[in-house]
Structure formats: C-alpha cells, structure tokens
Amino acid sequence: MNEQQARTVLLAKAIESAPQRATWASGALQRAASEAALAAAPRPASDARSREWAERFLHLRAQWLLDQVSQQHPGVHWLRGSAASWGWLGTAWPLLALVAGWLGENVFSPGHIHLLSPALVAVLAWNWGLMLWLLLRRLLSLRHWGRPPALRPEPHAPRRWPHLPWPDAWGKALWGVSQGLQRDWRRVAGPCLSARWLSRLHDGAAWLALGLIASLAWKGLYGQYRVGWESAWVDAPLMHQLVNGLASLVNSAPFSANTINSLQGWATASAPEVGTAWFWLVAKLLLLTVVLPRWLLARLAAWRARRLSQHLRLDLTEPYYVALLATFGGHPTPLQVWPYSYTLDAAQQSRLAAAAQALHGAAATVALMPHTPYGQLPPASHATPAPGHPTADQPHPVALFSLAATPEAEAHGQFVQHLAHHHRGTLALWVDRSALARKLGASPRLAEREALWRAFAAQHGVDMHLIDLDA
C-alpha cells in the first residue's frame, strides 16, 4: 500500500473511530461503503492473496466513504491534502539553507576574512562530528548484526497537542479526527517520514555550506580580500599547524609561518593573494568533506523514503480492521478472553459474545478461559509460546477486567505482561464498567476510574475498550 492509499484508509478510520458526537459517517453510510467496496473488489477464492485483497478493500471503502463525507464536511478535503501541503518545503528548504550560509559568514566576518571564522568553525565541527557519530553508530550496529532485535511494546498513548483555534465551521469534530489521523499516521509512516526529514536535513547542510562558499567568493569579487585572525587561546604556531593540517586534507599548498604571523592581529591591511589561497582551501574543504558526503546521504535517505512510501503496512490485527474484514468476507476472528479476578454468569457470557461481535465483526467467536484469581497468573498448561507471527486462525488474547478494581502494576500489570509474552496476536484489554456504573451512576468518580484504566492500557501499549455486560 502506497502513502496516499494508507493515508486515505487512516483518515476513514479516524472519522469512524471518533467519539459518537463527532462521528460524521452514519452506520448506514459505513455499511454502504463496505458493500460498495466489496462489489468492486470481490474476495478472491485463494487465501494466498488475502492481505492484498484486504488492503484493496480497505482503500476502496475509505475512498468511497470520504467522497460522501466530504460533501457535507469541507474540512475532510483539508485533512486529505494536509500531507501534501508541506511539499513547498522541499523547494524552499535549499534556498533558506543557502541564505543562512551566506548570512552566517557575513554576520560574523563582515567585509573581511577571519581565519577562525565562527561560521566556518561551526559548520566544520558540526558536520565532522556528525560524520564521526554516524560511522561509530554503523560500526556498533555491525557488532549486533545477526542477532534478533529486542521486542518492545509500542506505546499507544496519545500525544497531547496544543489547542488550536479551529474555525467554527469545522468545530471540535475536525480536531478530534485530526488527532486520531496524526497518531495513526506517525505509527504507520514513521520510518518513511523520518527518512524524508533526514534527506531534507542533509540537503540543508550541503546548501548551507554552499552559501558559505558563495559568501567568500562574493567578498573577493567586489573588493580586495582583507585577511587576518586574532585569538586569546590560539597562538601563531598552533594556528600554523591548524591551517596546514586543513590544507593537507584537500591537497592544497601550505601556508608559511611568516604568512600566519603577519596576519595575526590584522597587521596587514589587505592580503589578496593569501585571501585567494584561503578561499580555494575553504572551498575544496567544504565541497569534499561537507557538501559531497551530505549530498550522498541525502540521496540515500530520499531513496529510502521513496521505497518506504510505496510499501506501507497497516496493522490488520487492530480491532477496526479486524471487524471490517471479518464482517465483509474476511476470516472469522477467534478471541480468547482471560478474566482476571472476575467471574461471569451465563447472562454476562452471552453479552460478552455480543460485545466481541460489536468490536471485531459479526464473525467473531469467543472462547472464555478459566478465571484467574487476584495476584496469580494463568497456569503454564494454558500458555502458548509466541514465536513468529500470528496466523489467521490463531486466537487473539483479550484481558478482561472489572472497572470496579483499581489497576495495579504488581497484579494487573503482571497479568497483562504474561498474556502478551505467552500468546500470539495483538493483546487487547476489555474493562467491564457495568457494576461500577450501576453503583456510582453519573458520578465523577466513574470518569476518574475510566481515566486510570486508560492510562494503565497506554502504559502497557495495548488498546482498551470499555464494555457493559449488564446492557
């Protein structure tokens, strides 16, 4: 799935996953979108192309849905094109970097050439330090080559964005949808976006160095070079070694000690020959050690960004996709529900199956596992090792808690970590709010307890859903 297709699907997901008061697509419109997409992309008979079909189905469905929603909500047009709205930066960025390099040299050394120019020292130190860091990081990564990467849960905690004054015509609904879209977009397209920004940073560094060279050339084009240097910490012998060390890097003619001494303290009013030699030394130094390496790194990062943008992968184990695919021709979703310090009667078990179908589609099935007492973990006989990736018929684990309990890291946290480690599939967390809601009603304490469980789920990197087994 390419970048545009993935963003279309994620925008439709954000619209349908928004709070009910901000949902723009009615249930009838959502079902019509699914049926239209299914008619345009019938499910293949072979399961070998199931993912290819799933991605095409989701894209066609999202496209149809957004076309309908955008007729009533113009803000959808802005969200669909917001990723491309930053395209101007690719054109303006080199020019801004070129001007910054030009101004940097002229601000610190106006009208003359300082052998210890702060702009030149900063550019060389930053770029050489970065190259050394990249080299060391590559060498360290080779030490771990061939080892399996460490698995760490991906946090799903929403990032808090500053409040923006949206126009009243869009309202809070657009803000909520935009938040959901950006959160999913960073998770799906994160490597692609990082490679793209890295390419721009490398390009900017190369153009900044070119701006510095252009500034030095401009000084010699419309006047004689005035060259000199002064420093409280660098004496003439050390300065002579530094200058000739730089000259040796690019195979330039060395400077004599008498020349360096004569330039100290700006004793010589003008030194056009020395200035010309210094200009070519700096130009070769920046071109060979800054511009060329940064340009190559920028091209490599841009190539990686283009490759990644054509192969974005959605996590089809998320409940939103699972419910759509299971309801409209996909594989049924088997769920393995593990209640913790909580027992369900027959009526609650039937409502649990209804809640599962509401979250994962009409084809979802529920296997209720034995109750786990407080402070304990499921027996080893019920645990299934989790190497590799989940298959289509592999049950998805679900940790079931009661909202009446307060989440504890030592008890509930260990239970969640145990399920995530010993079972395949994406772990989900369901919290039954019925008992506490019946007891507290509309009390603020109910919202506070729900917020505690949401923070607990975000801390462990799992999706949480509130269910009501008394409804």
Count of beta carbons in the 10 Å neighbourhood of residue 62: 23
Q: Is 1 helix (H, G, I), strand (E, B) or coil?
A: coil
Output the DSSP codes for 13-72. HHHHHS-GGG--S-HHHHHHHHHHHHHHSPPPSSGGGHHHHHHHHHHHHHHHHHHHHTTT
pTM score, whole prediction: 0.67
In angstroms, how far is CA 428 from the centroid of its own chain? 22
Q: Where in the chain is the domain with CATH 3.40.50?
A: 317-471
Q: Is 197 helix (H, G, I), strand (E, B) or coil?
A: helix
Tokens at residue 16, please? 């349908």
pLDDT tens by residue, the chain, 471 residues: 888 899 999 999 988 887 654 567 777 888 888 888 888 888 776 655 678 888 899 999 999 998 888 887 777 777 776 655 555 666 788 888 889 888 888 777 777 788 888 888 899 999 999 989 988 888 887 765 555 444 344 444 344 433 444 444 445 667 778 888 888 888 898 899 899 999 999 999 999 999 999 988 888 776 677 787 788 888 888 988 998 888 888 888 888 888 888 888 776 656 678 888 888 999 999 999 999 999 999 999 999 999 999 999 888 877 788 778 877 765 667 888 999 988 888 888 888 888 887 777 777 788 889 889 988 888 754 544 444 444 445 778 899 999 999 999 889 999 999 888 887 667 889 999 888 888 887 788 888 999 999 999 888 888 888 888 886
Q: In the 3-class helix/strand/coil scheme, how is 353-412 assigned residue by residue?
A: HHHHHHHHCCCCEEEECCCECCCCCCCHHHCCCCCCCCCCCCCEEEEEEECCCCCCHHHH
User: 411 to each of 337, 378, 416, how far by Cα in Å?
Assistant: 18, 12, 9
**Overall CATH class of domain 317-471:** alpha beta
Separation CA 464–CA 455 (nearest Å) = 10
Output the DSSP codes for 305-351. HHHHHT-----TTSHHHHHHHHHTTS---EEEEEEBS----HHHHHH
Separation CA 284–CA 249 (nearest Å) = 9
Separation CA 400–CA 75 (nearest Å) = 38
